[in-house]
Amino acid sequence: MFVIGLTGPTGSGKSTFCAMLRDRGFYVADADLAARKVVQPGSPVLDTLCEAFGADILESDGSLCRRELAKRAFSSPENVRRLNALTHPAIERELFGEIAAHPDACAAVVDAPALIESGISEKCDLVAVVLAPPEQRLRRIMLRDRLTEEQAKDRMRAQPPDAFYLDKADVVLRGYAPYDPQTELDKLLERVPL
């Protein structure tokens, strides 16, 4: 199956394009959902995260307190790298397992903010990057995740600059007005053998 890797900085508009592709019969494997699955209580990944970031990243019921982990992981580039090294291999296995379980889809999309950093992009047939201006991303992140401006900026600072994504992109999609999402999507679909 043809696999598109879809990435870009947080708040850039990836979800909009994923929804449009899903409507066209693509299977969308969501790295954020896969990341939640691999850290279920009792999982080996959750155990290693506790060792790395402290056992108090757990809620009283033994589940991961994502907000606390994010606060610690996004506090420095070193901590982001540590988080990624502990979670990315399991997330990759989950994503490609999901894709294999949906052979009836016309193609697949791996929606992953860290697609390139994780090495998952190397397993994709094409890499599409969604970009948007920082001020628009900041507003989206604050609204979507109910974060303060400083918390949202911390997340943005923890990610690579746009140039990093552009260097790896086969297709660039603009996730902001005045660009029309359908016109942007058509650029991508021209590159997908359906």
CATH architecture of 3-189: 3-Layer(aba) Sandwich (3.40)
pLDDT tens for each residue of 2-34: 999 999 999 999 999 999 999 999 999 999 999
Contacts of 138 (CB under 8 A, 6+ apart): 11, 149, 152, 153, 156
* pLDDT confidence tier of residue 158, bands split at 50, 70 and 90: confident
d(CA 32, CA 91) in angstroms, rounded, equals 9
Give me the mean pLDDT over the 147-157 stretch.
Answer: 93
Domain coordinates in residue numbering, the chain: 3-189
pLDDT tens for each residue of 109-141: 999 988 998 999 999 999 999 999 999 999 999
d(CA 110, CA 42) in angstroms, rounded, equals 26
Question: Could you give the C-alpha distances from 146 to 3, 11, 25, 73, in angstroms and in order?
Answer: 32, 13, 31, 18
Computed over every residue of the chain, the mean pLDDT equals 95
Planar angle of CA 117, 147, 159, nearest 5 degrees: 15
pTM for the model stands at: 0.85
**Integer Rg of the chain from CA:** 17
